[in-house]
Amino acid sequence: MAKRILPENLIKFCVEIFVKAGLSTDDACTVADVLVMTDTWGTFSHGTVAILNYVQAIKSGSIDPAGKPRLAGEGPSWAVIDANAGMGMPACCMAMNLAIEKARKQTFAWAGVRNSSHFGAAGYYANMAVKHDMIGIAMSNADPNMVVPGARGHVIGNNPIAYAVPAGKEQPIFLDIALSAVAAGKIFAAKALGHEIPATWITDADGLPTSDPTNWPATGSMTPMAGHKGYGIALLIEVLAGALTGAGILSEVKSWKLHPGEKAYLGQSFLVINPAAILPLDDFKQHIDSAIQELHNAPKAKGSDRIYVPGELEWERREDALRNGIPLPELSFTALYQAGEELGVDTRLLD
Ligand SMILES: NC(=O)c1ccc[n+]([C@@H]2O[C@H](COP(=O)([O-])OP(=O)(O)OC[C@H]3O[C@@H](n4cnc5c(N)ncnc54)[C@H](O)[C@@H]3O)[C@@H](O)[C@H]2O)c1
């Protein structure tokens, strides 16, 4: 059975790590909250397992731990934040909070972030809007790690996108995905275990489908979700999170692993819609509830006993994690203990 850790202990430990790495206490709390919330959802690939990557990016100079986000421009319904090459999370929370405040007055608002770094799971930010009874959409570009139809190699990021919608009695609808056919973590896992993978997940050095992950990611590349459709949406995210914010796009965005010491120049984009400004909020929420119930009650496929709405799995895992502790995978514990040792932080909170 997986070892469990209380979210509050994990937050305390992560705050200590990030303060030791040079962040202010406020920024360290924000980063820890994003990573631990993600772990409570069971999205372990983008939770605290990445703690060493962030610490290494700070050590290499890719991320400036003291880089403070600043407002670079705004209008009544939009804003752009310059993250000053600091951690992505504080700048992205600042942008989402601004978009929420502007949507309260303007119904629709957009905020972008440039000169940014990895922001973790997109869903954290989309759900910030839901706490204010608004619809949130969050996206980021990523360093090129995906092929596009007709190409070979790393051409575009598997740019993540999330949306969250407030409901009434039901839990918010909440989709949070990357635009590759599968997350990189699944390919790394198959490679580590020496397993073959479906030929739809990656292409080889020639740009052809392969079921052998041995040479990935050095040669070969992830494939887009649903072929040209995932590619097209990834490109939209380059436009909204990259070009429109003044951040890097495509090859201008640098990987913290392949280009240690270089700034990432990532961009993020946040859209907020305030339903209460358009129609009675309770009517909207009840309508969402009825959509969720209709989906739950759709005829089941043979052998299926349940239909999920996006986000439902995450809310159930979070409820369990808050009650019984987070069942963190061994990989996450290993990264956390190693970060503790590297930075001289007491690891007893993890035991
Ligand atoms: N910051 C970055 O650069 C970056 C890059 C890539 C991915 N990510 C993050 O990685 C995480 C994982 O992405 P992923 O593509 O592996 O996600 P995934 O394929 O595991 O899909 C998760 C989403 O699908 C929904 N879902 C799963 N099964 C469902 C079902 N049967 N019915 C309805 N909905 C269902 C979940 O509720 C969730 O919203 C995300 O949090 C994403 O933001 C971040």
- Which H helix or E strand runs over 110? strand 108-116
Q: Are strands 221-222 and 202-203 parallel, antiparallel or unpaired?
A: antiparallel
pLDDT confidence of 211, banded at 50, 70, 90?
very high
Q: Are residues 263 and 197 in the same domain?
A: no
Residue 350 lies in a domain: no
195: CATH: 3.30.60.50
How large is the average pLDDT for residues 155-171?
A: 98
Element containing residue 112 per DSSP (H, E): strand 108-116
Average pLDDT rounded to a whole number, residues 74-100: 98
**Is residue 6 domain-resident?**
no
**Token couple for 110:** 């957009």
Q: What is residue 190's predicted lDDT score, i.e. its pLDDT?
A: 87
Tell me if 8 is assigned to some domain: no
Per the structure, the complete domain to which residue 110 belongs is given by 64-179+224-327
Identify the residue whose C-alpha is closest to ligand 1 atom 19: 177
Indicate whether 1 pLDDT > 90. Answer: no
Tokens of 247: 């951040």
Q: Which atom of ligand 1 is nearest to the CA of 180?
A: 15
Domain-located, residue 27: no
Q: Is the same domain home to 76 and 219?
A: no
pLDDT score recorded for residue 62: 97
* Beta-strand relationship, 161-165 and 108-116: unpaired
Number of domains in the chain: 2
Same domain flag for 229 and 131 = yes
Residues 163 and 122 in one domain: yes
Across the beta sheet with 70-75, the strand order is 70-75, 78-82, 108-116, 266-273, 135-140, 161-165, 173-177
We report the CATH number of the domain holding residue 236 as 3.30.1370.60
pLDDT of res. 110: 98
What 3-state DSSP class applies to 133?
coil
Q: Tell me the CA–centroid distance for residue 322 and ligand 1, in Å.
A: 21
Distance CA 37, CA 162 (A): 15
DSSP conformation class of 241: I
Burial class (CB in 10 A: 0-12, 13-18, 19+), 264: buried
Query: How far apart are the CA of 174 and the centre of ligand 1, in A?
Result: 10
Ligand 1 probe mutation, 44, 46, 87, 128, most atoms within 8 A of CB: 46
Is residue 269 in a domain? yes
56 or 189, greater pLDDT: 56
If asked whether residues 152 and 296 sit together in one domain, one would say yes
- Ligand 1 residue neighbourhood (C-beta within 6 Å): 43, 45-46, 118-123, 140, 142, 158, 160, 162, 174-178, 183, 308, 310-311, 313-314
DSSP string for 310-351: TTHHHHHHHHHHHHH-B---HHHHHHHHHHHHHHT--GGGG-
**Is residue 11 assigned to a domain?**
no
Residue of the nearest CA to atom 27 in ligand 1?
A: 310
Q: Looking at the structure, do residues 285 and 202 belong to the same domain, yes or no?
A: no
Using the mean position of ligand 1's atoms as its centre, give its distance from the Cα of residue 341 in Å. Answer: 31
Ligand 1 mean position to 211 CA, how many Å?
22
- Atom 12 in ligand 1: which residue has the minimum CA distance? 177
Please indicate, yes or no, if residue 40 is contained in any of the structural domains: no
Residue 23 falls inside a structural domain: no
**How sure is the predictor about 220, in pLDDT bands with cuts at 50, 70 and 90?**
confident
Distance 176 CA to ligand 1 centre (A): 4
Q: How confident is the model at residue 2 (pLDDT cuts 50, 70, 90)?
A: confident
Atom of ligand 1 at shortest range from CA of 142: 3
In the prediction, which pLDDT does 189 show?
81
Average pLDDT over every residue of 272-282: 98
Output 188 or 197, whichever has higher pLDDT.
197
- Atom 3 of ligand 1, nearest CA residue: 142
Tens digit of each residue's pLDDT (9 = 90 or more) over 280-332: 999 999 999 999 999 999 999 999 999 999 999 999 999 999 999 999 999 99
3-state secondary structure of 309: coil
270 and 285 belong to one structural domain = yes
